[in-house]
Structures are given as C-alpha cells and as structure tokens.
Amino acid sequence: MIDIFTIFKIAVKAIWTNKLRSVLTSFGIIIGVAAVIVMLAVGEGAKKKISDQMSSMGSNLLMIRSGSVTSSGARAGHGAKPTLTLNDAYAIERNANHVSQVAASVNGTGQIVYGNQNWSTQVQGTTPSLFYIRSWNVDNGALFTDDDVRQGASVAILGETVVENLFGVVDPIGKNIRINNMPFKVVGVLKSMGQSAFGTDQDDTVIVPVSTASKRLFGSEFPGTVRNIMVQANSTEELADAEEEITILLRQRHNITGKKEDDFIIRNLTQMMESAMEASQTFSLLLAAIASISLLVGGIGIMNIMLVSVTERTREIGIRMAIGAKSWDIRLQFLVEALVLSLTGGLLGIALGISVAVGIKTFAPDFLPVRITIFPMVISFIFSGLVGICFGFFPAYKASTLNPIDALRFE
C-alpha cells in the first residue's frame, strides 16, 4: 500500500500541474468560506453592539409611560395626556418590594448657551436614581443629589458632545450656562456612552433635577406630572412580580377600578433587548446558511473537475493497478486530491473573509459593526474539508472501480 505522505505529494503535484483549473475549481469554496466568515462577523458585531447597549441601559428594567385616556367620549393615544406624577415614582420606591431603584423623568429640547457659543440638545430632568439604573458615571465633577431635587437646584450635568460643542478644551465644571434663558451651574460631565439602541447620540444631552426641569424649563398645564418612570427590579426573576406590584399600586393611586383600562403602560425593556439579540443571532445564522450554499456549489465544482481528472488519468490508474495498487489506494489518492483542493480553498477563503471583515471594520464601523472571532474560521475550514470528502468520494469511487485492462487500453 502507498503511504499517506507519498499520496499527499502525488496529490499536490497533480493539483500544481493544473494550477489555473485548480484555482477556478476552488473559487466556489473560497467565496463560500469568505461569505460565511463575513456574515458571522457581522452577526457577532451586531450581537456585541446590542449587548453593549443593554449594558448602557441597565439591567432588569421596566419603563412606565402614560397610557391612553378618554375625555368627553374621545379616546387619546398613549402619552397624549400625562397621567404619571413624581409622587407615583416615590410611592413605587416606598411600597414595591421587588423594586430596587426608581427614576422619574421629563424631557424636552433646550437651547444651551455658554459665552458666545450655543447648542441645541435634549434636556432631561430626572432623579439621581437614573444614574445608578443606567450605570452612568461622571468623568469629571459630581452627580446632583436628592437634596438638589427637593430644592429645585439649578445644576446641570453635561454629556461629552455638549461639552465639545460649547466648551472645547475649557473645563466646564463650575461654569454657568443658560438653558432656555435660565441660568444653571455645571457640576459634572458624564463619561461617554456612545449610541443608543435607536442610533441616537447618548452623549448629546443635558441632565438636570426633575423638579427644576418641571418648574423652570418645561412648564406644564399638569403640574407634578412626569413623562415616564424607569424602574429597576431586584433581579431578572422578579421582573414579573415587580410589574404586577406596580400595576396594582398605580391602579389604586389613579382610582382605576373593575375592568377599567389602565391609564399607564409598562414595558419590559430587558425582555425587548433580549428579543432583539435573539433576532440578530437568528438573522446572522440565516445569512451564514445562505452563504454556505456557495460551499455546496464549490463542492459540485470539485466533483466535476475530479470526474474530468479521472477520465484524463484513466491510463495512469490502469498502470498503477497493473503494478499492484489496490482499489483502496486509488480511492484514497483521489480523495486526498479533493481534500487538498477544498482545504486550500478554505484557507484562501479564510484569508479573504478576514480581509473583507477588517476592511468593513476599518472603513465602515458604524454602518456594519463587525466582530471577528476564531469560531467561524474553524467551522468554515472543517466544513470545507467535509465538502471535499463528500463531493470527492464519487469520483474516487469511480476511479477505484475501473477495470485495469480497460484502463490500460484507454486512449
């Protein structure tokens, strides 16, 4: 029997003899492997981005917003009329056993002025609990306190985008700014938070005490109301209990009895983000499955070329059999050739896939987030080898079943 090293040398020589044909034959494998790697890298990048956004949002979160209300027979949509108050938030914080943090918020657009510079941005009035819920930390200065909320203090915390556009390289801490012509003192600058799950710049914001925002910045015909209340449950397992607890409490506070519709809605943000991650993972696997079709097409190409090779080398096969080669030796020879061809294509495909993924990561990181991992490369390489074996078996079997006498007579 011919040893495996000799078989491998013969296989490489046969492939090298027909270099152009071998490259064209491997092209389907190359494209297939590269496509799989790029698609999975994009999928992993999307999952990583969603995971980062979940981390920036916080964990175990419920969002409470005003629901629909009916007035004089006319039914308004969700949030058309504020139904939540700051006292609702305090009541949830005091009475809900499955809740660890509660933060009420109001927001709107404000024109921020410092010296001769101005910038329009989102202004959010909230309570200090929001910083703990969202895991927001200051890069410079300090956070405002519960005393600032009670006193309606005119203090503000800025996002990095606002600082860059108003202050440049000047330290903003202790400086006075005007928000909608109202004076505020800058007490802190938030660490960069990047983009939100909806693609907005989270650093383009100003945060002030909720009481100050309600009274001085966003006057309302409904005093004491807030736009939303964000709640953090003690754990993921307690989210459902916290939601039920809050629903009962708010219905009591809003005098909603019987089968009357709630005038508030509660959204499970953690569940929504987890669903988005699952959808992203499913989509990336679907793309990888579609890209894998190229591998199958490449396998068919290998099978066709190996069948041609069997026909071209029929006389060679007859000579080998005549001098003592067994059917298994011939079969193994052609299997190794198909395997070398497909694995070479797999390696070239991995190189191409990494190059494309790196290119996307370098030149279009915001358009398509990319995360390159070793797992898709290993799987693609193994799969390309399996394709070579599966599609190389029939030509190898056909070669091994040739009649030596007929093969020697073949012209």
Same domain, 281 and 404: yes
Same domain, 279 and 400: yes
Q: For position 283, what pLDDT does the model report?
A: 73
Q: Is residue 267 part of a domain?
A: no
CA-CA distance, 23 to 18, in Å (whole number)?
9
Q: For position 74, what pLDDT does the model report?
A: 44
Q: Is residue 125 part of a domain?
A: yes
Q: What is the pLDDT along the chain (411 residues), one digit of tens a residue?
A: 456 677 677 767 777 777 777 777 778 888 888 888 888 888 778 777 766 666 556 568 888 988 765 554 444 445 556 788 889 999 999 998 999 999 999 988 899 999 899 999 999 999 999 998 888 889 999 999 999 999 999 999 999 999 999 998 899 999 999 999 999 999 999 998 876 655 678 889 999 999 999 888 886 666 778 889 999 988 878 888 998 999 999 999 988 888 888 888 888 876 666 666 677 677 777 777 776 777 777 778 778 777 777 776 777 767 777 777 777 777 777 788 888 888 888 899 899 989 998 888 888 766 677 888 888 888 888 888 888 888 878 877 777 777 666 656 655
The burial of 207, by beta-carbon neighbours within 10 Å (0-12 exposed, 13-18 middle, 19 or more buried), is given as buried
Q: Is residue 180 part of a domain?
A: yes
Asked if 190 and 157 touch (Cβ cutoff 8 Å), the reply is: yes
Token digits of residue 130? 């929001």
What pLDDT digit, counting tens, does each position of 329-375 carry? 777 777 888 888 888 888 998 999 899 988 888 887 666 778 888 88
Tokens 């409470």 found at: 64
Q: Is residue 388 part of a domain?
A: yes
Same domain, 328 and 382: yes
Token digits of residue 271? 């569940």
Q: Is residue 76 part of a domain?
A: no
Q: For position 158, what pLDDT does the model report?
A: 95
Q: Is residue 340 part of a domain?
A: yes
Residue 38: partners with Cβ closer than 8 Å, 6 or more residues away:
291, 353, 356, 357, 360
Q: For position 367, what pLDDT does the model report?
A: 67
Q: Is 344 helix (H, G, I), strand (E, B) or coil?
A: helix
SS (H, E, C) 82-112: CCCEHHHHHHHHHHCCCEEEEEEEEEEEEEE
Residue 198 φ/ψ, nearest 5 degrees: -105, 10
Q: For position 351, what pLDDT does the model report?
A: 92
CA-CA distance, 410 to 73, in Å (whole number)?
94
Q: For position 174, what pLDDT does the model report?
A: 93
Give the amino acid at 351.
A
CA-CA distance, 383 to 11, in Å (whole number)?
20
Boundaries of domain holding 311: 4-53+275-409
Residue 406 φ/ψ, nearest 5 degrees: -60, -40
What pLDDT digit, counting tens, does each position of 142-190 carry? 999 999 999 999 999 999 999 999 998 899 999 999 999 999 999 999 9
Q: For position 1, what pLDDT does the model report?
A: 46
Q: Is residue 242 part of a domain?
A: no
Give the amino acid at 88.
D
Q: For position 249, what pLDDT does the model report?
A: 93
User: Among residues 197, 229, 261, which one ends one of the domains?
Assistant: 229
Same domain, 131 and 18: no
Same domain, 46 and 151: no
CA-CA distance, 231 to 229, in Å (whole number)?
6
Q: Is residue 70 part of a domain?
A: no
User: Among residues 172, 198, 229, which one ends one of the domains?
Assistant: 229
- Terminal alpha carbon distance of the chain: 27
Asked if 271 and 54 touch (Cβ cutoff 8 Å), the reply is: no
Number of Cβ within a 10 Å radius of residue 9: 12
Per the structure, the count of domains in the chain is 2
User: Among residues 213, 229, 245, which one ends one of the domains?
Assistant: 229
Residue 364 φ/ψ, nearest 5 degrees: -145, 55
Rounded to 5°, angle at Cα 151 from 109 and 118: 30
Same domain, 140 and 200: yes
Same domain, 128 and 44: no
